[in-house]
């Protein structure tokens, strides 16, 4: 069974282009672009517009291994990734030409780039999807996911989310991130209309579309719901809205109270979820009925999944059929797919007496800034490369801002912010830059990040 077969069998499924108000059935996208059939890698720099969705569905039904990447990636990152992985096809509407590739019209709507050298290399047929471990830094490290991973994840989501064939789902979370991808796959299998849009959920035009199409759900990270609350969203009734989903961090107590009361008053459900790319999306969810009493919990494991807590480190370990088949750091890594029995999440956790889990900290140097997963070690390297090898220490502050410590008193904070704006599209207001006389080190000479956190003021 393929994920695409489950999607195509959904007779209720319709894709709507929010810009033109044009509807497409899933069958209209069946083999709608001209591609050669082979076992190779494709790079799709996809947004959530109708063209990207059409291209994604076409390659999903093929033998190709699909790599979803951000179209906003720095051009140098794109070129380095393409050199490393030698994709047979590239979809990137932002470019009119790519060295070594031939541009051609794959349909009257879609242009692709085909590799002129037609590289031949082995790719394990179990690898259906490659997702970046960091959506913004252009890391060559990818998570290898199979059809089975994606299907198991989608089916588990359908066990707890109230998705119906009459639903109208806005694609407001980018599908290049596993959260957006899981919204896409689960609703394609069992939902109704999919509103394809790049409009931001905090923009007026998004809500005009929301009302026009009668959307039934929204998804977002904590920051999104904080902004919606600030804008007075929860003081108004939204008749078509049935449920909301959230992942990417812990909600503050004030907002939990607002959401719980809003849901009770308007009979709408709010689902807190927990997941990672390495699990194809979801690992746990908090039932809406528990929002009042278990507000800081990630909830309980999804169906056919379970957790263990390491007795020595308190690290949360996940077991389930949606666990990935390893990482790819180079083209050679695409020859294998080894699904591990256990996924070490890198999160420190505890379980209460009712079997609900709580994240209490992180082991890995990965943070989520406004829902975007970011490897702080990679951010440091980018700054070092761009600013003459200076020493930088990057720390996440409550997942809402990035603190950059440096040792050069003459270095202007604006220079640091400009690099991160250009390379990672980080807004300067998200970045705090601080000069320090020294940084704490461990006995073996490495930066002591746990102590460096104390430099935050």
d(Cα 17, Cα 209) in Å, to the nearest integer? 11
- CB neighbour list of residue 145: distance below 8 Å, 6 or more residues apart: 127, 128, 129, 130, 131, 280, 324, 325
Between 39-43, 355-359, 440-444, the lowest mean confidence (pLDDT) is in 440-444
d(Cα 360, Cα 345) in Å, to the nearest integer? 13
d(Cα 424, Cα 409) in Å, to the nearest integer? 24
The per-residue pLDDT for 256 is 86
Domain 1-364 has CATH 3.40.50.12780: yes
Q: Which of 274, 230, 270 is nearest to 250 (CA)?
A: 274
Give the residue-averaged pLDDT of 317-334. 96
Band of residue 2 on the pLDDT scale cut at 50, 70, 90: very high
Q: Which of 196, 192, 185 is nearest to 6 (CA)?
A: 185
Domain 366-455 has CATH 3.30.300.30: yes
Specify whether the CB–CB gap between 170 and 183 falls below 8 A: no
Q: Would 1-364 and 366-455 be classified into the same CATH topology?
A: no
Flag whether pLDDT at 393 surpasses 60.
Answer: yes
Flag whether pLDDT at 450 surpasses 80.
Answer: no
- CB neighbour list of residue 82: distance below 8 Å, 6 or more residues apart: 43, 90, 98
Q: Which helix (H) or strand (E) holds 186?
A: helix 178-190
Q: What is the pLDDT of residues 9-47, one digit of tens each?
A: 999 999 999 999 999 999 999 999 999 999 999 999 999
Neighbour order of strands in the sheet with 431-435: 392-397, 401-406, 431-435
Gyration radius (Cα) of the chain, Å: 22
Residues above pLDDT 70, as percent of the chain: 97
The per-residue pLDDT for 136 is 60
Please report, in angstroms and rounded to a whole number, the separation of the first and last CA atoms in the chain.
54
Specify whether the CB–CB gap between 176 and 133 falls below 8 A: no
Report the 10 Å Cβ neighbour count for 335: 12
Side-chain-side CA neighbours of residue 130 (13 Å): 31
Flag whether pLDDT at 366 surpasses 80.
Answer: no
Task: Write down the domain spans for the chain.
Answer: 1-364, 366-455
The per-residue pLDDT for 445 is 54
Band of residue 446 on the pLDDT scale cut at 50, 70, 90: low
């Amino acid at each position: 069974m393929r994920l695409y077969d489950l999607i195509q069998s959904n007779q209720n499924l319709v894709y709507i282009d929010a810009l033109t108000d044009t509807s497409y059935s899933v069958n209209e996208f069946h083999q709608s672009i001209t591609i050669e059939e082979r076992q190779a890698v494709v790079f799709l720099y996809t947004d959530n517009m109708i063209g990207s969705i059409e291209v994604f569905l076409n390659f999903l039904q093929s033998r190709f291994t699909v790599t979803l990447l951000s179209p906003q990636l720095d051009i140098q990152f794109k070129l380095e990734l393409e050199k490393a992985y030698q994709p047979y096809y590239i979809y990137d509407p932002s470019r009119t030409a790519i060295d070594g590739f031939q541009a051609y019209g794959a349909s009257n709507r879609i242009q692709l780039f085909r590799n002129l050298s037609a590289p031949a290399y082995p790719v394990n047929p179990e690898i259906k999807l490659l997702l970046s471990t960091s959506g913004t830094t252009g890391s060559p490290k990818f998570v290898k996911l199979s059809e089975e991973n994606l299907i198991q994840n989608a089916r588990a989501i359908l066990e707890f989310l109230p998705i119906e064939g009459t639903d109208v789902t806005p694609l407001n979370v980018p599908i290049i991130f596993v959260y957006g991808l899981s919204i896409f796959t689960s609703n394609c299998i069992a939902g109704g209309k999919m509103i394809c849009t790049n409009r931001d959920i905090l923009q007026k035009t998004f809500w005009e579309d929301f009302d026009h199409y009668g959307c039934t759900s929204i998804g977002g990270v904590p920051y999104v719901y904080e902004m919606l609350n600030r804008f007075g969203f929860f003081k108004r009734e939204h008749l078509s809205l049935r449920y909301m989903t959230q992942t990417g961090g812990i909600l503050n107590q004030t907002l939990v109270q607002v959401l719980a009361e809003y849901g009770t008053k308007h009979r709408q459900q709010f689902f807190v979820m927990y997941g990672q790319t390495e699990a194809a999306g979801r690992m746990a969810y908090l039932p809406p009925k528990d929002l009042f009493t278990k507000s800081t919990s990630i909830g309980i494991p999804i169906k056919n999944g379970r957790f263990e807590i390491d007795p020595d480190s308190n690290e949360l370990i996940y077991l389930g059929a949606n666990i990935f088949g390893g990482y790819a750091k180079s083209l050679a890594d695409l020859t294998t797919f080894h699904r591990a029995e256990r996924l070490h999440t890198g999160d420190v956790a505890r379980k209460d007496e009712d079997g609900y889990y709580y994240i209490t900290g992180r082991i890995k140097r990965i943070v989520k800034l406004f829902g975007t997963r970011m490897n702080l070690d990679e951010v440091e390297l980018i700054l070092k490369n761009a600013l003459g090898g200076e020493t930088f220490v990057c720390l996440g502050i409550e997942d809402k801002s990035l603190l950059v410590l440096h040792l050069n008193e003459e270095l202007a904070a604006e220079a640091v912010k400009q690099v991160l704006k250009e390379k990672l599209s980080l807004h300067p207001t998200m970045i705090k830059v601080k000069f320090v006389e020294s940084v704490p080190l461990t006995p073996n000479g490495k930066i002591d990040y746990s102590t460096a956190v104390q430099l935050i003021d």
